[in-house]
Amino acid sequence: MAQIRARGIIVKQSDYGEGHRMLSIFTEEYGIVKAVSYGVKKTKSKTGAASQFLRYADFDLYQGVNKELMTVNSVDTIDAFYPLSEDIKKLSLCVYFADITYSLLGMNNPDERILHLFLNSVYALAYRNVSLQKVKTVYELKLMCAGGYMPAVGGCMSCGSADVYAFDLLKGGTVCRECGGKHIITLNKTLIRALNYIISCDDKKMLAFNASPDVLNSLGALTEQYIALQTDRRFPSLDYYKTISEM
């Protein structure tokens, strides 16, 4: 049994019993952990009030006999990303980010790089004037790179030819006409340049490039299909985000 202090961000919340909340917290030290916040509906509970989706904080956690499930003792907020709480589109995009992050990382698997990519993306959505499509595409691609699925984009990944024309979602890289398989998305020079930039840039500069909405849309279609195919999952939160975005 132990008392743990961990810095992290709440990536999921759900009701738990009468007036309690089950949280998934993506922490620096322990990866994504589960913890219960008791009495969140009590008006005087500071911890309860802070036990919210996307709360970035130092958490005091108590690990009892059940190591898989901790208890939240206190929450010292660093950032609540308040502008997001009023924007359903941005919020639903963050839910999707949390889903794809969990599907790559699983529980109890610390990854500081992915945590910072996640935080950078949430920060950009809350405080910077960047399009949602851009943040989405870049997070999807950077997450895949950090999670061990970095696309190979220097020529055809099967035969080495410099004459690439498409991205093969299954092989995970660019291919020439001879080598392309069934799951391909045609590329042009602008798309290849954008792909290259995002893959190779410093994480801190991941949003510092210019691309037209058209380019971002095409690239976004590629990155979301790449994730779905490589993780072999469908993400209802992505469908929900798209439904809201069209309203």
Q: Which residues bind Zn ion (CB under 5 A)?
A: 156, 158-159, 161, 176, 179
What minimum distance in Å lies between the beta carbon of 159 and Zn ion?
Answer: 3
Q: Is 133 within 8 Å of 220 (Cβ atoms)?
A: yes
What minimum distance in Å lies between the beta carbon of 168 and Zn ion?
Answer: 10
Of 159 and 221, CB closest to Zn ion:
159
Of 181 and 213, CB closest to Zn ion:
181
What minimum distance in Å lies between the beta carbon of 163 and Zn ion?
Answer: 8
Other beta carbons within 10 angstroms of residue 147's beta carbon come to 20
Of 20 and 171, CB closest to Zn ion:
171
β-pairing verdict for 69-79 and 31-37? parallel
What lies within 8 Å, CB to CB, of 66 at 6+ separation is none
What minimum distance in Å lies between the beta carbon of 146 and Zn ion?
Answer: 27
Q: Give CA–CA dist 118/167, Å, rounded.
A: 25
106's torsion region: left (phi>0), alpha (psi -120 to 50) or beta?
Answer: left
Of 107 and 159, CB closest to Zn ion:
159
What minimum distance in Å lies between the beta carbon of 194 and Zn ion?
Answer: 22
What minimum distance in Å lies between the beta carbon of 237 and Zn ion?
Answer: 35
Entry field: residues in the chain: 247
Of 138 and 153, CB closest to Zn ion:
153
Of 29 and 163, CB closest to Zn ion:
163
